[in-house]
Amino acid sequence: MQANQKFSYELEFFEGQLTPKTAGLTAGFQAVCAFVNDQINNETLEALAKYNIRLIALRCAGFNNVDLENAKRLNITVLRVPAYSPHAVAEHAVALILTLSRKTHKAYNRVREANFSLDRLVGMNIYGKTVGVFGTGKIGQVFAGLMKGFGCEVIAYDPYPNKNLEEDGIKYVSSSELFRRSDILSLHCPLTPETYQIVNNTTLSLMKKGAMLINTSRGKLINTSDVITFLRNKQLGYLGIDVYAEEEKLFFRDLSERIIDDEIIMQLMTFPNVLITAHQAFLTQEALTEIALTTMENIHTFEKGLKSQNEVSVEYIH
Ligand code: NAD
């Protein structure tokens, strides 16, 4: 692995998820490297502590899957990669928008079967639409700039507005106004107790008929059953998601020969105006290189006993 050349750590790769049951695989190691869908709850942490793991090096930015309180209690340090490529995620959000609006996923399949008809391929322009950005941190900021480039009116909600964006002509509005005015609403906030199921019957009923909802952040920002109701009654026009509330049981695996035991995602997959990708927004060559480098540097900083800016702890979120 290229990023390890400078450090020469002994690395061992395991296929499965990190769960209380697989935590035993860490016996004999000093650190564990984990990702978004690993279950780093108290039970896993207790097992890791038993095997003398002192560091969890997350190779992602989000850390909502880590029980930070118990990590602190067990003296396990948690480091993350706070930023690797906001462009990768923002561009994926745009890819979802363009695919849904121009039905390129359908056109691709049709043409491969020599069906050159244009029936039911009428799309919509992105130019001139009002785009709502929910959370204007690193990713939301890049996304806002991209949508401005399309000639959209970009409005945003964030408890901490960004002056640079305001200077670029992006107007901050209240959360409810954002839901009300957006033709396209894209979620770019973290999953916290405040944002859990921020998209629900109440907020969906504020949205314009036929609006598009995009989520590349975290599945639990959305109440999926409520979204299905709004898709079914044709209030919500399009849904593009890279994340799903129950994705731990599904994503990052090939289940094509299995019966999927999740009726909600099966139902979502039947809608012609729903596009689902399996948490791949981060997956570009550039982002992977950055993730690997920062992860190795995080481990090195910990090994040297230095304080890292990339540490996440309970104090950090309170
Ligand atoms: P960031 O920390 O730079 O920005 C988050 C923004 O959300 C901040 O400006 C913050 O003020 C704002 N925010 C916090 N609470 C809010 C609330 N209640 N309502 C509205 N806004 C709120 O994070 P980022 O790097 O831009 O990443 C955003 C999210 O994207 C991450 O939390 C993660 O869940 C997700 N993500 C997904 C992928 C993927 O592959 N799909 C990859 C990386 C990150």
What pLDDT is stored for residue 293 in this prediction? 95
Distance spanning both ends of the chain, measured CA to CA: 36
What pLDDT is stored for residue 84 in this prediction? 87
What pLDDT is stored for residue 199 in this prediction? 98
CB 203 within 8 A of CB 157: no
What pLDDT is stored for residue 316 in this prediction? 61
pLDDT digits (tens, 9 = 90+) for 8-40: 999 999 988 999 999 999 999 999 999 988 999
Residue 317 has pLDDT above 80, yes or no: no
Global pTM value: 0.91
Is the minimum distance from the CB of 93 to ligand 1 under 6 angstroms? no
CA–CA distance from 283 to each of 37, 138, 189, 212 (Å)? Answer: 15, 17, 19, 23
Locus of tokens 């409005």: 155
Written as one string, the DSSP assignment of 44-78 is HHHHHHHTT--EEEESSS--TTB-HHHHHHTT-EE
Q: How far does the centroid of ligand 1 lie from the alpha carbon of residue 191, in Å?
A: 8
Is the minimum distance from the CB of 279 to ligand 1 under 6 angstroms? yes
pLDDT digits (tens, 9 = 90+) for 182-193: 999 999 999 999
CATH numbers and ranges of domains, the chain: 2-83+284-317 (3.40.50.720), 86-276 (3.40.50.720)
**107 C-beta neighbours (distance < 10 Å), count:** 16
pLDDT digits (tens, 9 = 90+) for 200-250: 999 999 999 999 999 999 999 999 999 999 999 999 999 999 999 999 889
Q: How far does the centroid of ligand 1 lie from the alpha carbon of residue 207, in Å?
A: 21
To test the ligand 1 pocket, which listed residue (194, 203, 217) has its Cβ within 8 A of the most ligand atoms?
Answer: 217
Q: How confident is the model at residue 169 (pLDDT cuts 50, 70, 90)?
A: very high
CB 233 within 8 A of CB 79: no
Average pLDDT over residues 285-305: 95
